[in-house]
């Protein structure tokens, strides 16, 4: 039975980020609850990566499931131009209540890439509408902002987008900031914004996810945002991965004392239940679109913009984020990670271990650090056979769990990692 289904899958389905050859069969999952994914035969796999970083309250959350079910019965979807609905309005109020005060409007789309696409288009059109068009964007080397052409353009050039490189627009990349190169990076950034040609600066705050959970300091980001602000460059915080508690605060940019101008949100937004992207924008940018000139309209939208079921999931998830146990769990997971970091730091098979909030990354000493590092499959399979889903980025192993993971479950993952490290010797 399971074999038949897998055969059909292999015949019909093209999976994301997956070569068509040389891969193990996909694993059929029938049910998911809490941190576990269940196979047909009842065996379980612990989801220690929150199913591509989306799941924050655990799988099968009943509060969200009920809200989704009710909304599906009440109204599944309506056109969002010329019409609106209560769930979207409620979500706008919810998000604006936790975003910095400068944020004024929210714009809906379907995923993280589209939330970035919208942000970039808004930034370019903001300058166009002000009749001082600017053509350049600054991004950070190593960045990943999604897979549409705009979001690929502001991402690092590399293995993911070689075939598309000739079609990506030019972007100014600054080096990934470290304590060692801080002053050079800032000087380069200052020079770029000083040209007056820069429309926007886009960044993954504090943690570059796909680049291998690379982390940089609050101080450096603060300096960059401050410099951009002073030069009137629009700051776009791509909080697609870092939003909703990942880095220990509700938004990663809450660690700064200057708010960005635009936020990109997705992943944890619906608690990992429904696809949705949101771009939020500060008042001054909105103002440039608020005119009688029809040509200054933001002509962008998707068929499923503002989908009521996705909004209901996001509202139900938001309610859970407002309970005291939400931030308490984030704190607990972060503390567990710190303790574990202290325990294994210095292991001879670790190049570097780093942590920001609920994310801990272990860069293994298994050759050159890269997404394409060949040890990836071996590491992935090693943990899967032990009932743990850890999906390394090349030789970078990381844990990014749903916040409801218990101490005992975390200890099981830590224990398996220690065992693996020792086996490498
Ligand atoms: C920081 C960041 N931005 C954007 C995206 C793209 O999101 P999506 O996969 O939902 O299009 C991702 C996905 O991993 C991401 O980590």
pLDDT tens for residues 259-280?
Answer: 999 999 999 999 999 999 999 9
2: its two tokens:
């399971």
**CA 346 to centroid of ligand 1, rounded, Å:** 32
> Closest ligand 1 atom to the C-alpha of 266?
10
Q: Please, what sign has the CA dihedral across residues 123, 127, 133, 139?
A: negative
Give Cβ neighbours of residue 20 (< 8 Å, ≥ 6 apart). Answer: 14
- Say if residue 369's pLDDT is above 90: no
Q: What is the pLDDT of residues 186-222, one digit of tens each?
A: 999 999 999 999 999 999 999 999 999 999 999 999 9
**CA 343 to centroid of ligand 1, rounded, Å:** 31
Nearest to 366 by CA among 388, 383, 351: 351
- Say if residue 373's pLDDT is above 90: no
> Closest ligand 1 atom to the C-alpha of 52?
14
**CA 278 to centroid of ligand 1, rounded, Å:** 12
Which residue stretches of 43-111 are H helix?
A: 50-53, 62-74, 86-98
Asked if residue 364 lies in contact with residue 379, where contact means CB atoms within 8 angstroms, the answer is: yes
Q: Which of 15, 112, 213 to mutate to test the pocket of ligand 1 (most atoms within 8 A of CB)?
A: 112
Q: Which of 15, 110, 145 to mutate to test the pocket of ligand 1 (most atoms within 8 A of CB)?
A: 145
Mean pLDDT (the chain) is: 97
> Closest ligand 1 atom to the C-alpha of 143?
1
Q: What is the pLDDT of residues 382-398, one digit of tens each?
A: 999 999 999 999 999 99
Is the Cβ atom of 356 under 6 angstroms away from ligand 1?
no
Q: What is the pLDDT of residues 238-267, one digit of tens each?
A: 999 999 999 999 999 999 999 999 999 999
Residue found under tokens 């801990």: 360
**CA 240 to centroid of ligand 1, rounded, Å:** 6
Domains of the chain (ranges, CATH numbers): 2-60+325-424 (3.90.1150.10), 62-321 (3.40.640.10)
Is the Cβ atom of 213 under 6 angstroms away from ligand 1?
no
Is the Cβ atom of 111 under 6 angstroms away from ligand 1?
yes
**CA 400 to centroid of ligand 1, rounded, Å:** 15
Q: What is the pLDDT of residues 288-338, one digit of tens each?
A: 999 999 999 999 999 999 999 999 999 999 999 999 999 999 999 999 999
Is the Cβ atom of 242 under 6 angstroms away from ligand 1?
no
């Amino acid at each position: 039975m399971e074999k038949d289904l897998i055969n059909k899958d292999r015949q019909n389905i093209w999976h994301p980020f997956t070569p068509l050859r040389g891969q193990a069969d996909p694993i059929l999952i029938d049910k998911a609850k809490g941190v576990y994914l269940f196979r047909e035969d009842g065996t379980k796999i612990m989801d220690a990566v929150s199913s591509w970083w989306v799941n924050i309250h655990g799988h099968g959350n009943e509060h969200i499931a009920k809200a989704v079910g009710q909304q599906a019965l009440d109204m599944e979807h309506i056109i969002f131009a010329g019409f609106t609905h209560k769930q979207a309005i409620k979500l706008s109020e919810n998000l604006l209540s936790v975003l910095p005060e400068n944020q004024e409007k929210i714009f809906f789309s379907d995923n993280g890439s589209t939330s970035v696409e919208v942000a970039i288009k808004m930034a370019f059109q903001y300058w166009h509408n002000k009749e001082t068009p600017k053509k350049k964007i600054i991004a950070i080397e190593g960045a990943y902002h999604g897979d549409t052409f705009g979001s690929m353009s502001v991402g690092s050039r590399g293995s993911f987008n070689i075939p598309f490189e000739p079609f990506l627009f030019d972007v100014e990349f600054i080096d990934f900031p470290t304590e060692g190169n801080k002053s050079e990076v800032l000087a380069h950034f200052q020079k770029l914004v000083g040209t007056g040609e820069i429309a926007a600066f886009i960044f993954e705050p504090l943690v570059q996810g796909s680049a291998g959970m690379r982390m940089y300091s609050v101080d450096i980001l603060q300096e960059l945002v401050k410099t951009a602000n002073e030069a009137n460059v629009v700051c776009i915080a791509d909080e697609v991965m870092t939003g909703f508690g990942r880095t220990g605060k509700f938004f990663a940019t809450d660690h700064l004392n200057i708010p960005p101008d635009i936020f990109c949100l997705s992943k944890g937004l619906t608690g990992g239940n429904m696809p949705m992207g949101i771009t939020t924008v500060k008042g001054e940018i909105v103002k440039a679109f608020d005119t009688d000139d029809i040509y200054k309209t933001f002509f962008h939208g998707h068929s499923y913009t503002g989908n009521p079921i996705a909004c209901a999931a996001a509202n139900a998830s938001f309610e859970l984020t407002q309970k005291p146990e939400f931030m308490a769990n984030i704190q607990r997971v972060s503390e567990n990670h710190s303790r574990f970091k202290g325990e294994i730091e210095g292991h001879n098979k670790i190049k570097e271990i780093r942590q920001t909030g609920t994310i801990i990354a272990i860069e293994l000493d298994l050759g050159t650090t890269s997404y394409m590092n060949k040890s990836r499959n071996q590491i992935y399979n090693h943990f899967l056979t032990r009932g743990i889903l850890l999906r390394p980025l090349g030789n970078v192993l990381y844990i990014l769990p749903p916040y409801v993971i218990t101490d005992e479950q975390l200890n099981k993952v830590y224990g398996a990692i220690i065992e693996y490290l020792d086996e490498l010797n």
